[in-house]
Amino acid sequence: MALFGGKPGVKKGEMVYAWTTDSEIAKRAECGGAVTTLLKYALEQKMVDAVLAVKRGQDIYDAVPTLITDPKELTNTAGSLHCGTLLLSKILAKQLKGVKDRKIAMTVKGCDVMGILELAKRNSVNRDNLYLIGVNCGGTVSPIKAMKMIQEVYQVDPMKVTKEEIDKGQFIIEFEGGHKGISIDELEEKGFGRRTNCRRCEYKVPRQADLACGNWGVIGDKAGKATFVEVCSDKGADLLSRAVKAGALATEAANPKGIEMRQKVEGAMLKLGEKWRRKDFGALKGDLWGTIGRETARCIKCYSCIENCPVCFTSADYLKGKSFMVSPGEVPPNPMFHLRRFAHISDTCVNCGQCEELCPMDIPLALFSHAIRVEGDAIFEPKLGKSAYTN
């Protein structure tokens, strides 16, 4: 750890345990409260004009993206919402006009980062105006499915659940009168657990953000009380160092055994992602296009998949009736409605799952886009991936 203005500062590539000195944040935070404290510090110091984070709405199933300009409000955003399946990248492009006129600090999962980078490539988001505080992500659970799972598998009224957490491979709920944990493997065998795109996700530690924060690898007396922070950019190093220097955060070097443990867990999660890819893509039995034809026959052409995809952007108007290949008012739409979108995002699908999550007809769109992406990678960039559905 280097010295920063007389106090310890961090550099890109370093890994530290960090914890907040703010007692209110400490009470509500998932681990050490480093994420909330960094966001708050950046806003207080006017390094940014606003913070984009996620807060709990009516209940644990209701994750609400929120734009904050008053640092005092940040405490309300502390804590992880695993039933929060939202994607923040498109908000930047749509509601925040590409963050071209202001600076924003925000919390990002792997898919949020990938969506932002794709939008930045299209000049739809200004990456330079962003502080990206990454959180490791093992996956999210769809809110409706989570309620069904809690009712049927946990045999608990989902409305009585006051807290959920994922710890040591278990999804744990707290409710009036007790708590119960069941392993995610067991839940997934029963058809519940994480969203299918999350199971196939192989981006667990968001190293393209400025900082990657998580709970994996925090051991010893700091277990559960500190956030593991990997410093991924000079910008991240500067923000963290300043917050430490100001006394907002305390840090110590990460325990080498903890670092090793974190690497092992990350490796195991990547293997699990690979296993799910084989299973899901294998289930297509080499008939991807036939399956697409059958499944999309129930499409009601609501445009939700297009509106919510972080990479399907510029063609939205084109697809909305201006295309020569899709007639306006035709339901179900001509297969070109889907094929054109799949082709258009085939090299950039980030497997965020928004298309599938928000499709009112439950069409497994993310599976199709992801299979096409991986198949394309296998053909054109063999180093990136294996054949998706032919292997």
Sites of contact with ligand SF4 (CB under 6 A): 109-111, 137, 139-140, 197-198, 201, 203, 299-305, 351-353, 359-361, 363, 365
Provide the mask over 164-203, with x wherever binding to ligand FAD is found by CB under 6 A and - wherever it is not. ----------------------------------------
The entry of ligand SF4, ligand FAD, none that residue 214 binds, CB within 5 to 8 Å by partner kind: ligand FAD
SS3 for 20-60 is ECCHHHHHHCCCCCHHHHHHHHHHHCCCCCEEEEEEECCCC
The two three-digit tokens of residue 315, written as one number: 């063609």
Among 42, 50, 84, 243, contact with ligand FAD (rule: CB under 6 A): 84
Q: Which is nearer to ligand FAD, 266 or 307 (CB)?
A: 266
Residue 244 is a binding residue for ligand FAD (CB under 6 A)? no
The two three-digit tokens of residue 70, written as one number: 């008053």
Distance CA 98, CA 85 (A): 22
Residue 78 is a binding residue for ligand FAD (CB under 6 A)? yes
Residue 82 is a binding residue for ligand FAD (CB under 6 A)? yes
Residue from 3, 2, 7 nearest 248 by CA: 7
Residue from 341, 309, 350, 63 nearest 198 by CA: 350
Whole-angstrom CA distances from 348 to 40, 207, 286, 307, 344 are 33, 18, 22, 16, 8
Name the 3-class secondary structure at 356: helix
Among 75, 124, 215, 354, contact with ligand FAD (rule: CB under 6 A): 215
Reported residue count of the chain is: 391
Q: Which is nearer to ligand SF4, 48 or 349 (CB)?
A: 349
Distance CA 8, CA 371 (A): 46
Give counts: helices (H), strands (E), the chain.
15, 13
The entry of ligand SF4, ligand FAD, none that residue 117 binds, CB within 5 to 8 Å by partner kind: none
Q: Which is nearer to ligand SF4, 77 or 197 (CB)?
A: 197
Instruction: Map tokens 């096409």 to a residue.
Output: 372
Q: Which is nearer to ligand FAD, 147 or 299 (CB)?
A: 147
The entry of ligand SF4, ligand FAD, none that residue 30 binds, CB within 5 to 8 Å by partner kind: ligand FAD
Backbone Cα Rg of the chain? 21
Min separation Cβ 221 and ligand SF4, Å: 29
Distance CA 52, CA 236 (A): 17
Interface with ligand FAD in residues 17-76 (CB under 6 A): 29-36, 53-54, 63
Interface with ligand FAD in residues 88-117 (CB under 6 A): 107, 109
The two three-digit tokens of residue 208, written as one number: 């393209």
Q: Which is nearer to ligand FAD, 89 or 291 (CB)?
A: 89
Residues lying near ligand FAD in the complex (CB under 6 A) are found at 29-36, 53-54, 63, 77-82, 84, 107, 109, 135-138, 140, 213-216, 227
